[in-house]
Each structure stands twice: as C-alpha cells, then as structure tokens.
Structure 1
C-alpha cells in the first residue's frame, strides 16, 4: 500500500506540474494583457504559415517579374513552385513545436504577476533551445508529417535552424544538433499529453496544433507517431524526457541527417531563408491605428503584399538618370551597358568615368518589375551612393550596419540567450523590413553576400533579395572570402547582375565565367577619359611637407592617406602645429562622430568651397570619399589600395596631370604584408612618367597575381547546420563601446547604441576580460581615451610618445 500511495502521490504531483497558468501554450512573452491570438503557439504558428504562404504567392506570382515562375527562376530551382510552397508551409508549421516545454513556457511567463511555470534568464538557461526540441518532437511524428505535401526532411532542417543557432557557435561549426546546458534539471516536461481518467490523451493546446495541421496542411486526420513514442505516451502520466533520452534522440537524428540524407542545397537554402524571414515578420505587430484601404486593421499578410510588390518601372529609373545628367547626354559606354544582352554584365571603368550613372541606365533595361540592390564595399561608399543618386528620387532605403518601419516585435525573452554576441535582434529585424517595401536599396555588399554565410540582416532582407537585380561596385577591392562569396552568388542567383570594377584580373575573369556558366559581356569605360594623363608619381622615404605647404598656399586641396590610425593622428597633430587648415578622418571614431568628420571632409573638397584644406585619412579614403584632390600624399600600400587612393586625385579632370607623392611604411604586417608593400612600390616605380587610369588597369591585369577565393558557404555547403559566420577575412578591429559613454548609453533605447560604437585594434584574449553592455565589449577608461577631434587613442601608446 505504501508503494501504491507513493505512486499515486507522484502521479498527482506530475499532473499539477503539467498545468499552465494562464492555461495556454504561449509562443511569445506578454504583459498580462495581450496573451490571446498570436501570442499563443497555435496563433503564432498560423501567423508564420500565413506569412510564408503570402511570400511565396507574391514572389512566385506570374504577374511579377518576367518569367512563369520568377521565384523558381531567380534561384534556378529544380522543384516546382507548388513543391516549394508545400515545403515552406510544412517548415513553418513545425518550426515552434518545441516551445511546448516547461522551460520555454517558464521564460515567456517570467514577467507575469501570476503565472506557472516561471523561469528567469540568464541565471536559469533552458536545457536546450526550443527549435531543437521542435526537431526532436517532429521526428517522432515523422510518419504522419511525411504523408502531407512537401519535403519533410527539408522542412525539418529549416525548422531546426530558424534562429541561426544550429550546428555552430562563434562562427565555427560544432556539428552538434543543439547544445545541452547546465539548466539545473536532469529531465524536461513537455506539454504534449495529459492523463484524463487514467487514459493518455493529447494536451488540449497541443491537440489544437495538430488539428491545425489537418485543416490547413491537408495532413491525415489520424495522427501517427513512432512506436517508442507511442509506448512512452501510454506508460507515462505526461511526456517527460531525461537528458539521456534527449541525447540519444538527438544523436539518432543527427546521424541520419549527416550520413543518409543528400538534400538539394539551393532548395534547402531558399526554404531556410523564407522560413527565417517569415518567422521574423510573423512576430511583427502592426500598430492598432494602421488601416488597409477598406478601413480595417492592417494584417501582416496585407502589409507583406503592400511592401513586397513595390518594384521599379522605367519612369522611376529615368528620373534618377535625368537628375544626375542635369541636361547632359549619356556617354556611349553608359548607353552600351543598357544594351548588354548578357544576364551578367561587367563594367570595366576607372574612377570618375560615370559608371554608377551607367549602372542606373543598365537597370532601366534589366531591373524593371524588380527591386534594384546597389552594393558597395563599405558603409561610407553606400552612404555617398545613396545621397548622390536615389535619395528623394525614388522609393529607396539606405541599409548598412548603422543605418522605421512602423511595426513592433513580439519577443520571447530568449533572444539574447545565445552567447553569440547578437546585438538588438528585434531592432535588426525591424530595420531589415525596410528593404521589403523599397524599390531601390543602397547597401554594403554584406547585406547581400552575407546571405551565403547565414548573416542575419541579409536573411531578414531575403524577400527583397529574392526579386532583385544587383549591382556590385568596386569588385577589385574584395578580399578572398568576399570574392569567393561573390562567385557562389553568381553560381546560384540567376538574376540580372552588373559587376563594376576599375580592373578585372585574368584569374578573376576566368572564375566569374566559370561561376556564371553562360555568356557574359564586358563593357569598357570611355577610352578618352581613361587615357587622360591624370597623375605624376614621386617616391621618397619620408613625406614632403614643403610640397604640401606650397600646394595649400596655392589654394589647393590635399589628401594625405596613412596606413594606420596612429600615423594619421600624428600627421594631423603636426599639421595643426604648422598652422595648416587640417581635417582628420579615420575609422576609430564613434559612428556619430565619424559621420560628421566624413561630411566635413567631403564638403571641404566641393568645388564651390574655395578654401585650401589638408585632409588626413586612412584606408577609409579609398572608397568612401567622393572628392577630387589637387595633390595626393600616401604611404605605400598594396596595388589595389593605391589605385583606389589615386581615384581621389584629379577625379574631376583639370586638363593635365597632378602630383602623387608616395613614401614608405616601416610597420610591416599591419595592415600590409611585406609582399603587399613590395608590390605597391613596384607599381609606383614602374610608372614614373605621366600616368592614366588605363596604365593602372593594364599594370594590374598584366601582373602574375593569383587570388585564392574562399568559396565556402554555410548556407549552401551545410545541410542541417544553420549558423552565421564571417563574410570577410578576419580584420584587426573589434567594435566596442567606451566606458566614458556608458552613463549616456544606458539611458538610450537599444537602437541608438550603434551610434556610440567604436572599432579599435585589441587583443581578443584581453577583450574577453572586459565588461560588456548589450554584448558589446566596454573599452576601459584606463586603456582607451577618446575625443571627438582625434577619435579613440590607446593610452599606453600615448605614454610611449
């Protein structure tokens, strides 16, 4: 009797534990007032299924861009549109099943006054993330889910990776199907079944989820699951998995997916991206006062349709062209770009030849019925491209890592429970939604090519990418990882694409042709401009201050480019000591201060400003400064960098060559290797008379340089793994906040924090010891000082001086 009594007591305790307060399976956190509808698991699931359905219907609509199935054609998919639609709907249906567990339900109830269960982050982490449990639970229902439409395994892998945290951590592959954490529990309760009158039956709320699948996804009415799972349901009072059971289930599924499954990588990639974008917008909440054309509250589905269907027409693009021409005529090479018959066109033209205007003319024939995405290498160039061309001309948006949609985000409270250094995921989603409704998007190349490495912004922007034509500028500046990503993009994306560069090396051309696998066309810049004698080179070991001062006395505008920030600051201080009108611009400013320095330099070089000026900058000048100097002073750098710097000299051609003074850099390895510096010096010494842009391009293209593009892609090369990694080669800088700014920052909304970020060179091991705010490391006051004039300076370096 004692044993029977113990069993009854244990069963009663378990039954009590299985009750929820409020009595609903939640998908999102709430504040005691908004807990119905979309905040419930069934409601949110329906929202996401509806969102992905709407996206596929719009992006795949025959009345969209040219072609019968534009979404299929954009990615060269081998499946039909109906197969894609069924698979993404299935992925959306199962993506959050795993939220029906005690730990997750505790997290979304943490801020409620009266609720059960409750769990508080980060002190009490979940045993495992909910999307991994979605995979484990859906696997038990595999036999039932496979009887529906769509590819179950594709849907399963997409569901498991929809938060970009599966199979990788810190940008590296871990090959783990979810991480088991020290949660304080050795087992976990799932709200899947209850025992009523001694008999097991599905939990009422989970049963609603199953019925939704029958009704909306045409799944069989009789739910089927694995034999072991059925046995467990019969024997237990409620579904409880021990850590050992979870590990075994996880390993079995991983073994199958890794060893017995060979998915179509592009099909899988598109489903993953659509699900992540659909889940993001499925968590968005339109303001209650936002109405549709009928005066009804605007639904997410109508919002998606209103935004995504906005595309370019000839009239809008002609407006951009006319404003920029200002009554002049297009050059023949700009006209030739628009007449290119190739899907992928290359524009080989130097700085100041008008290739950007030519790109918009190209778009007039290639981007109609699409969005146009214009990709620059840096935030500075994308800002200038936006302001100079499309701002206030067409419905456009500037997107980069520091650039409002009138929506709010429903969250779970677990967004930062990742250890991945994610900053402001909700704000990032909201900003990314701006791209959905714009006709033209000006951005850094990361916003597009980052898709291949599962970077968050491009995946959230996927509905725009899925119907765009693309322009990639300054391709010759791409590092091996960036160029490798471009090659993979060219392999997969079948949209109209324009690549622009001052030069294309032979190995680059060969790699591009191989990636495109169809005829490409190269349009050359205007010969009469590229053969103008623009530069005279001079090299010495030390900079020539006398020549700089003489140029300023003559009313000139001098650009001085250094290889390191500390060098630039030193040159700036010397210039000020000499009484010269000097400005400084480099990367080590707070973003809000950097914007001001950037604008001050650009404005000082405008033709209408007659005051002589000396601007001292670092590599940021190579692409982000649209100016025309009368004298260039530069340290020796790699050839590509030197050519970019020369693009700021005599940009608005004055009729004769201007002087470029080069001097040495004894700091080998930061940022240039000995070989980089030797190659740069070779370029300068081999072209000692008057030099034109064609000379520079010919020198580059005749060199024996061979790149080693890194074409690895998480999105395309991994199957079930889905995690973000770096798009570019590792740099020397880490983005931080300054301790002196913390008081101000803590009083600001999260979306304002990036304005205070500063990139600094720092030892990663040392940074791990620094405090953090919103995952940004905090540079201590005793190691870094800051002024809005000079930027961030390392104190120990100042002491040495």
Structure 2
C-alpha cells in the first residue's frame, strides 16, 4: 500500500515503512500536540488584550493545526512530490487545496459550523477568517498568482477512504470531541475556466472583503492564530521514527514550557555579578536600581547612558521585575550578540542561548577562544536547520539574539515565528538602538504598537527624531519612562575635542602620541582608507611599536584572532595603535587614551568617543591639564553614509562642544540634530491578508559587500569535510566590497549564497585582511 505522506522520506528509510513524522496522520498529530503546548503558553496572555474569549482562540488554533495539510491527500499533485518526483511542480499548492476543502466539502464545512455554533456571529466570522488565513499562509508562499490550471491533470479526486486518511479523521474525533461520519470523496476541476470561477475569483473576493472589514485588533488576533500554527508546524515537523519517540520529544517540550521562569535566573546572575565586583561605583548601583524599579510602573523604559555605565546589568534587574517568563536581548549585529553572550555565558550557564544566523560557528569559536563578526543579521535560516533546532529554542529562559530575530516576525522570518511563544511571554531589550537603520527602528515602533509585552530600549544617546517618534507611539497607549545614566559619571569632562582642518589623518601626531605611551584608536569610515592609513603608519612607526589593523574584511576565523589580539593588547595599556573602521562602535570592549577619527554621523561619533577613557569614574582621575585627546577631520568622501549633509551637520555639532566636554554635553548637542521628515509607513507583513510571503528584510537594502570563499579554502574543505559541514565553510567566508565584483564573478560556482573565487582575484593577508586584486 502506498502511504499518504506529509514529508519526503529521508534517505535510509523505505516508503513502505517511513518515519512516523513523515506520514500525514503522524505529522498532523505532532503539529496538533505542539499546538496544545503552545496554546497553554500563549493563549492566556494574548487573549487578555482582546475582547474575544480565550476558548475561541484555542479552538481556532486547534482547527487550523488539524486541517492545515488536508490538501496533501491529492494523489495527482502533492503525493508525487513527496514520493520523489523531483521535477514535479504543483499547479495549485496544497495550502490552497486545504482551504478549498474546508469551504466546499459539505461535511467539513458543517463540522466547522457546528464547532463554532456557540459563539456570536462576529466571533464566528473572526475565527473562520483566522483559520483560513492561517492555513493559506503557513508556508509563507501564499499568492493568488501561484494558482494555475493544468492541461496535464484535468481534475483532482480527493478521497478520504485511504487508511491513513481514516487515521486522520480519527484524530479529528479525538481532538475535537465530535463524531465524523465517513467523508465522501470530492472532485476539483483544474480546467482554466473552473479554476478561475471556483478557486481564484472567489478567493480574491473573500480576501479583499476580509482586508477591508477587519480592524487592526482583528488582524492582530488573526496573525496570532497564524503565528501559533506556523510555530507548531515547524516544531511538529521534527523527525520521529515512532509515536513513542515523538511522545518522548513532546515531554521535553512540555517540561521546558512548565519550568520556564527567567526571574530567579536573573536574580542569581545579578548576585554572582555583585560578588565579582563588590566595589561598584555607588552611582552605578543607584542607576541600576532605578531601572529595576521602573519595571513596576512602566511597560516601556528608555535608558540613555554612556558606555561603561552598567546598562546591561541594569537590564537584568529590570527583567527580573517584569514578571515575564522569558527574556530576550536584541543587538544590532551578530558580533554584538556574541559579545553579549560571551560576557555572561558563565553566569547564565545552560539557562541562556545564543541565536543568530551564524551562532553555531560563533559557539564553536568561543570554545576555542573567541570569535568576531560585524555583519547585520538579514538572512533567514534554512527550514531544515530550523526543524532540528526547534525544540531547543523554547528550552532556555534567556536569549541573546539580533534585533532582526525579534523584528523579523513582522517580516515573516521563519526563525522568528519559532520564538513567537517566547515573545508573548517575554520581556524584550532592544540594545544599541541608535545604531539601527531607519527601517529597523520603524520595526521597533511597530512592535510597540502591536505587542503589549514589557520593552526596554538602551542607547548611549537616542536621535531626537527617534525619541519623538517613541513618545508619540507610546502616548495614551503605553506607559513610557526615560532613565538617564549615573549623573556624576555622565558629567565628567573627559573629552577634549579638536578639529583638524587638513582633511587627512595627522600621521605624525598619531606616532607622537604612541611614542608618548598612549593607547591610540584611529577610526576611518571605510576599509580601503583604514588599510591605506595602516600602511602609511607602518612606515613611520618606531621599531617595536605595536600597530594593529582591524576591520570587517577578514576571513571569519581570522577576525577571531584579530579581535582577540586587539582587545588583549589594548587592555595592557600604553604604546599601542589600533587602526579600525566603524566596526569599533559596538561590541568593542576597549578603553584608549587618544582617539583620532574621520567625521561620521553624530550618533556614531558619540559611540567612538565611548572607547575613550571608557572606565573613568571620578574627576580626580582626569589629567590635571588635559590636552586634546580626541581629534576629528572631514573624510575625502561621504561613503558609507547617505550624503555630505550628515557629516557637515556632525562637524558643526563638534565645533559647538565645550572643551573639555562630558557625555551629557554630547547628548545636548545630539538634541540639536535636524529631525528627519515624515516617513511612509507600511503595514507589517505579519498582518498581511491578500499576500502572505517571506520576501522582505527587516533592514534597509545593503549592497556594499559580497561574501566569497577562496578557491584554495574551498578545495581544502571539500577534501576534508565535503559540502555539508556548514561550520567549516562559514569559518572561511570573506566579505569584500561589492564594487569590486566583476561580471565573471557573478557566474562563478557557489556554496550556498557564497561565491567561490580564484585566489588570484584577491589579495589576502591574515594580518591585514582581504581586498580585490
């Protein structure tokens, strides 16, 4: 007998005896099981913010979980696909057939009506719309344009008499507490006129009407139903050979959900941190306590406090007071995530997880002594990787992740949907908020409007227009408080800023400061100018001087060694010069006594100044007659920033600073920045009705770099590991400027998204990084 499959049978298994999870009844039962666990986690919280009853939400998710894959019974369309006919293409996806069955099969339609009969008309309509949109969208591939007719297959005979289908109907009866008579077969014509009249046109009219009539709260309800189904479907797709094996995995999930409670974990971490540093500055302790208490009366907290003032530990105290079961800290890049995780992994132990697109590589490198990366998180995970990781994602009460992992839910990132139950029960920290691009920041504002969970936003200083937008979003809806950093530390006049008019790095001055025993940070806005400045300084440096170059164009594993070397050498103090790019603005825990930098947008300059005398706490530690310790000049081009206006404005703000100046003075100057104009806002993809796909990024388009692997590295990896060892391949990935990419490079062989290029195309040194030859 040919079995009804929901998933392709993996290698090593026969189609006559596939894993339980690959069978249609097995898969539907696993998804239904997970849905019940996730409902216990999400339903009480989500429905408390809506005017509709919680049992309706539970029933809607339950029905969506049981019916979402009914379209896979199609022996003409779907079954050949999962039985190995790789060239097979479905003219109508199984989600569309599932929805068509629910609307057109008289017994299934009656089943839905009977189960919803006890609710009011508007509640029934909301539930039916939510179920349909969840079923249609659960693979992120719903688009009316994908519905086609077929000349090869005139019609589909959808039969419910197969033994596997009888097992599905038995599952319906057990889970819904109903009796279902034997369902009659039904035929779906694939003739062009019939497809247009019976599928495409009615569905388009229904979608248009739902989009017009549904309120924002109804769309939020619907999207929440869809989110629970998608998470349940991904977790429920984990492989299990037998029902017994599945029940064992289900127990792990249930235990993790029951035991999840981040508050005692955070309290333990804070107590351990206090023992490590018993002589913390009293103002820092007071600041952290104010942030902690703010959680009791405000669901949105904004922290504005300079580098090195204890913001992260303040966030732990805040999280412990929110009453949330989970906590997530979102950082702007993969490097800042891993830095945050590494700084605290010993304290959190198994209670924390590191999540981003390369977290497996970083974890491997952490065990070997370090890591680095500074690329944004804009790539979603593969479906196969997510299935394997899915159970683990709900086990840890603490998550260190990129902002994209959180905001990605609004853009239909699969990896974000897996965390939806955590989002609903969690408190969320958005760190380094000044560094988000405008699209990512708008995502944060959308998040605050759509989700009622506690949120903490942290930054050294937030742009004026962003603070205004934040206040406007919270006004009358959310309770917002702003917490400033320790006043004395924030007021220390430790920055003595000078402008250099020549428009070039003052090489002789840099060497003089280095010879005088200072630790020097030189920041150029581009990798090209950083390499050029490094080469010039190398000629001028006296023998034995320490000169290090650090930027983003290193092989992944070489960046590990580079950042380790830079941080370790700088912490030794005096007599070192670091030439760097904007990579230093975040995830760079160093303190220097001299800063030389090209002018950049003012929030970036504040971050660069945050590396200068980072741990200075008292006025008696200041130099008695402080000379200039921060020097800025205008670069020769405005790239990588948007235009000259940004840099000219920064120059004027720098000229107006007192000498010396404090963090508070920097914040006051930041308040004088021009406010950006009103931006066009679009409805988040998470709420979309008429088209539901995973096709947009949480960030603005970034086309400045391309990732490559040298052919010699690729050959070595292939010889030792083959193509499947992602860990080893990712260690050799090298970002380079996209502008150097030739037409030939566009057609070369790839590993996943990464181009494999001839070694002769790239000049590469482990100490200097790479550039196009």
Q: Return the offset for 1:692.
A: 0.8
In the alignment, structure 1 residue 327 sits paired with structure 2 residue 278:
yes
Residue in 2 that maps onto 1:272:
226
Residue 283 (str. 1) matches residue 241 (str. 2): no
Q: Which residue of 2 aligns with 1:13?
A: none
Residue number in structure 2 paired with 1:70? 45
Matched-pair contact (CA < 8 Å) for 1:381–1:624: yes
Which residue of 690, 693, 714 maps to 1:742? 714
- Provide structure 2 residue ranges, at least 5 long, that are not aligned to the other structure: 117-123, 362-377
Q: Distance in 1 between matches of 2:466 and 2:20?
A: 53
Asked whether the equivalents of residues 739 and 781 of structure 1 are also in contact (C-alpha less than 8 Å), the reply is yes
Aligned to 1:425: 383
Quote the residue 2:531 is aligned against.
569
- C-alpha distance 364-422 of structure 1, shift in aligned 2 (>3 A): closer
* Farther off after superposition, 388-397 or 646-655: 388-397
Match of 1:159 among 135, 139, 144: 135
Residue pair 2:129, 2:210 contacting (<8 A) in 1 also: no
Q: Which residue of 1 aligns with 2:665?
A: 695
Q: CA deviation at 1:778?
A: 4.1
Q: Which one of 129, 137, 144 corresponds to residue 110 of structure 2?
A: 144
Partner of 1:32: 13
Is 1:100 matched with 2:63?
no
1:582 to 538, 541, 547: 547
Alignment of 1:205-604 (within 5 A): 205-218=164-177, 221=180, 233=187, 241-242=190-191, 245-248=194-197, 249-261=199-211, 262-263=213-214, 264-285=218-239, 299-312=248-261, 314-325=263-274, 326-329=277-280, 331-340=285-294, 341-366=297-322, 368-394=323-349, 395-403=351-359, 424-431=382-389, 433-516=391-474, 517-540=477-500, 541-579=503-541, 580-604=545-569
Given that residues 128 and 180 in structure 1 are in contact (C-alpha distance below 8 angstroms), is that contact kept between their aligned partners in structure 2? yes
Checking the alignment, whether the CA contact within 8 Å between 1:503 and 1:701 is kept in structure 2 is no
Find the residue that maps to 1:792 and give its secondary structure.
strand
Question: Is contact 2:553-2:736 (8 Å) kept?
Answer: yes
1:494 Cα shift? 1.3
The structural deviation recorded for 1:504 is 3.5
Greater per-residue helix proportion: 2
| Separation of aligned partners in 2, 1:602 and 1:707 | 40
Runs of 4+ in structure 1 over 6 Å off = none
| 2:370 matched residue in structure 1 | none
* Normalised TM-score (structure 2): 0.84
Q: 1: CA distance between counterparts of 2:161 and 2:453? A: 47
Aligned to 2:146: 178
Tell me if structure 2 keeps the 8 A contact 1:132–1:177.
Answer: no
The answer to whether the 8 Å contact 2:102/2:109 transfers is no
CA contact (8 A) 1:771 1:777 kept: yes
Q: Partners of 2:587 and 2:677 in 1: how far apart?
A: 24
Sort the Cα spacing of 1:297 and 1:138 in 2 relative to 1 into closer, same or farther, 3 A: closer
Is the partner of 1:331 in helix, strand or coil? helix
Look up the SS of the partner of 1:605 in the other structure.
helix
- Secondary structure, aligned partner of 1:398: strand
Alpha-carbon separation, structure 2, partners of 1:212 and 1:444 = 39
Please state if 1:655 is matched with 2:622.
Answer: yes
SS of the residue aligned with 2:139?
coil
Task: Report what 1:192 is aligned to.
Answer: 158
CA distance in 1, matches of 2:270, 2:622: 26
Unmatched segments (≥5 aa) in structure 1: 1-20, 61-68, 111-118, 168-175, 194-200, 234-238, 406-419, 796-801
Asked whether the 8 Å contact 1:396–1:440 carries over to 2, the reply is yes
Q: Given the superposition, is the C-alpha separation of residues 778 and 350 from structure 1 closer, same or farther in structure 2, using an over 3 Å criterion?
A: same
- Structure 2: distance between partners of 1:521 and 1:621: 30
> Any idea what the Cα deviations from partners look like across 1:223-258, whole Å, max 9, x if unmatched?
889xxxx8x64xxxxx66345544541332122112
Q: 1:37 to 1:315 in 2, by over 3 A?
A: closer
- How far did residue 126 of structure 1 move? 3.5
Aligned to 1:52: 35
Q: 1:282 to 1:315 in 2, by over 3 A?
A: closer
Question: Are the counterparts in 1 of residues 307 and 460 from structure 2 also a CA contact under 8 Å?
Answer: yes
Report SS of the residue matched to 1:284: coil
1:644 corresponds to which of 597, 601, 607 = 607
Query: Corresponding residue for 1:198?
Result: none
Q: TM-score, normalised by structure 1?
A: 0.81
Aligned to 1:624, the other structure's residue is in SS state: coil
CA distance in 2, matches of 1:246, 1:760: 49
The CA distance in 1 between the partners of 2:154 and 2:9, in whole Å, is 20
Structure 1 counterpart SS, 2:536:
helix
| Aligned mates of 1:751, 1:79 — CA distance in 2 | 46
Aligned residue number for residue 90 of structure 1: 63
Q: Which residue of 2 aligns with 1:109?
A: 83
**Alpha-carbon offset, residue 385 of structure 1:** 1.5
Q: Does 2:652 match 1:682?
A: yes
Distance in 2 between the 1:336 and 1:674 partners? Answer: 40
Judge conservation of contact 2:4–2:79 (CA < 8 Å) in 1.
no
> How many angstroms apart in 1 are the aligned matches of 2:648 and 2:697?
29
Aligned length: 706
Instruction: State the shift of 1:735 in Å.
Output: 4.7
Shift in Å at residue 276 of structure 1? 1.4
User: How far does residue 402 in structure 1 lie from its aligned partner after superposition?
Assistant: 0.9
Change (3 A) 1:36 1:380: closer
Contact 1:424–1:750, Cα closer than 8 Å, also in 2:
no
**Distance in 2 between the 1:686 and 1:655 partners?**
22
Contact 1:384 1:624 in 2 (8 A): yes
Distance, in Å, in 2 between the alignment partners of 1:635 and 1:287 is 60
Give the distance between the partners of 1:103 and 1:788, measured in 2 at CA: 53
